[in-house]
A and B are shown apart, each in its own frame.
Chain A
Amino acid sequence: MTRNKIRITLLSGFALVAALIASRPVAAQDAKQPYPNMAPIEQYLMDRDAEIALARSAAPDSISRDAEVLVLGRHGFETAAKGKNGFVCIVERSWTSAADPDFWNPKVRTPICYNAPAAHSVLLRNIKRTGLILAGRTKGQVDEAIFAAVDKKELPAMEPGAMCYMMSKQGYGGDTVEHWPSHLMFYFPQTDPAIWGAGLSGSPIIAISDAREHVTTSVIAVQRWSDGTEAR
């Protein structure tokens, strides 16, 4: 299962997401390959101030105002604002944060604020992945490079307590799932999701393991957006 399939599987566990999927019209393009190739880089870039604001919207202001912010440049993510609380906010693009049909969808904008342990582990993988993508590598080449770096410990294992906020009311998840529900994500070294009761009927926890990256990710929906308004 690819990384993006894992992500869509995780998040499609939410009823809201399921409803969004069920109700969306079929895309005008070939539904299987609406975005077969990378679009011109300009389509993935954003106005710098707008990107900073969108990145910060992933978490409540009480967290994100003191966070470091990364923005996408032509060659990868770069620091746009220094932080002081260990959190790092970023707007991820399709190649790390959308379902497979949206892998090259230039409209995808996924705001995330990682806590310090996640910034030291999960985020490094996404930064590396983005750098490789923008250098022209194929999806397969990028996957293999990430897997190899994880195996060689060039990319660190998940740190204890790694988690992130995805509570932005804005952003665009892709044509498959236009907007994620407000949620938190937690990262662990590869663990059987069953230990959390994840995915069982009535459980608020969804989780899935990625054997190639040695990580298990769990998701819990929360009831408000980052601005405090009700999300359900």
Chain B
Amino acid sequence: MTRNQIHSIFLSAFALVAALIATRPAAAQDPQQPYPTMAPIEQYLMDRDAEIALARSAAPDAISHDASVVVLTRHGYETAVQGKNGWVCWVGRGWGAMFDHPEFWNPKVRAAECINPPAARSVLPYAYKRTELLLAGHSKQEVIAAIKAAIDKKELPALEPGTVSYMMSKDSYLTDYGGHNGPHMMFFETAKDGAAWGANLTNSPVLAVNYWYISAEAYPQLKSFPPLSVFLVGVAKWSDGTPAPSM
């Protein structure tokens, strides 16, 4: 695994600032493919009430209290609570990360996230579609092809401006690396990389990853996808207002 790949893994949409301070060695499994296939579906599911609570914990109560909440079922995400402020809180699983992410099938991942209305309209549909297809048993290649076809037919929306995501839950499990978690904000931009924001440079507080892949070589069709970068900025407190460890 190259240094850049490792860096990208740490910076994946789920694995973030906290993972950067990881010092422990990789898991005992093959570090390149610790989770080569999907685990039994039961390992990804949660108690419904616990999932609702975890989802809401992604953002301060002032936001999540009135948000819609979606939960994972055997066939995809479904609305568990209808909100009234346009925000949607949910708990992402490993497959929400890049298609070539080593923890794509990690059944321990629980990435609580509350996304604002523009992101709910223009980012979440991609996560829903990906989830439904994967849970229906489609391969990654098939999912990628289906998403590309949906983009081309405009069945999936273009990214709206002003998207933001809160990932401030104290109880998320984002990665096997480091402290497994860290509060942060995410911004979605139609950028090819993080250069415009000075991301990923020494001492920059901004981290950026490609939404689709770590390296497009594994799934070349992803090269033809619309550019989509995720920018992460660590914050000092968890959603409940308590201080988080310094990043």
Chain A residues with CB under 8 Å of chain B are 59-63, 85-87, 113, 115-117, 160-161, 163, 165, 167, 184, 186, 188, 191, 195-197, 200-205, 220-224, 226-228, 230, 232
Contacts and interface: CB of A to CB of B under 8 A. Distances in A.
Contacts of B190: 160
A196 B196 contact: no
Contact of A161 (B59, B87, B191): B191
Q: Helix, strand, loop or mixed for chain A's interface? A: loop
B185 A205 contact: yes
A60 B62 contact: no
Given A62-B202, A204-B168, A220-B185, 14 more contacts: A59-B204, A60-B203, A61-B203, A195-B118, A202-B62, A202-B63, A202-B240, A221-B235, A222-B205, A222-B234, A223-B205, A224-B203, A226-B203, A227-B203
B233 A184 contact: yes
Contacts of A220: 185, 233, 235
Interface of B: 59-63, 86-87, 116-118, 161-162, 164, 166, 168, 185, 187, 189-191, 195-198, 201-206, 233-237, 239-241, 246-247
Contacts of B201: 60, 62-63
A224 B203 CA distance: 8
A117 to B, nearest CB: 7
Contact of B237 (A186, A202, A227): A202
A117 B191 CA distance: 12
A146 B198 CA distance: 29
12 contacts: A59-B198, A115-B198, A116-B196, A184-B206, A195-B117, A197-B60, A197-B164, A197-B166, A202-B62, A204-B185, A205-B164, A222-B233
Given A60-B203, A223-B205, A230-B246, A202 B162 contact: no
Contacts of A202: 59-63, 237, 239-241
Contacts of B236: 204, 221, 223, 232
B189 A62 contact: no
Contacts of A63: 198, 201, 204
